[in-house]
């Protein structure tokens, strides 16, 4: 979604109020969880739904 919105991780970090390090962990799939308010803020900044940015791998 970042590429589709032509937004950098730095820009998203500024809009959402989450550090670049934490966003990078989310982006690489290494996070064990995400708070709903963080997910909501990311979705608002990227104008998308949670299903657009979350992929569940069994």
pLDDT band, very low/low/confident/very high, at 51 (cuts 50, 70, 90): very high
pLDDT digits 0-9 by tens, 7-32: 999 999 999 999 999 999 999 989 99
Q: How far apart are CA 7 and CA 52, in angstroms?
A: 16
Closest CA to 14 of 35, 37, 42, 34: 42
Answer whether 15's CB lies under 8 Å from 42's CB: no
Is the pLDDT at 56 greater than 80, yes or no? Answer: no
Give residue 55's pLDDT band: very low, low, confident or very high (50, 70, 90).
confident
Confirm whether pTM is higher than 0.75.
yes
Domains in the chain (CATH in brackets) are 9-53 (1.10.260.40)
Instruction: Give the separation between CA 13 and CA 18, rounded to whole angstroms.
Output: 5
């Amino acid at each position: 979604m970042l590429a589709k919105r032509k937004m950098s991780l730095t820009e998203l970090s500024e809009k959402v109020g989450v550090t670049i390090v934490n966003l990078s962990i989310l982006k690489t799939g290494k996070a064990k969880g995400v708070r709903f308010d963080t997910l909501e803020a990311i979705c608002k900044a990227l104008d998308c739904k949670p299903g657009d940015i979350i992929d569940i791998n069994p």
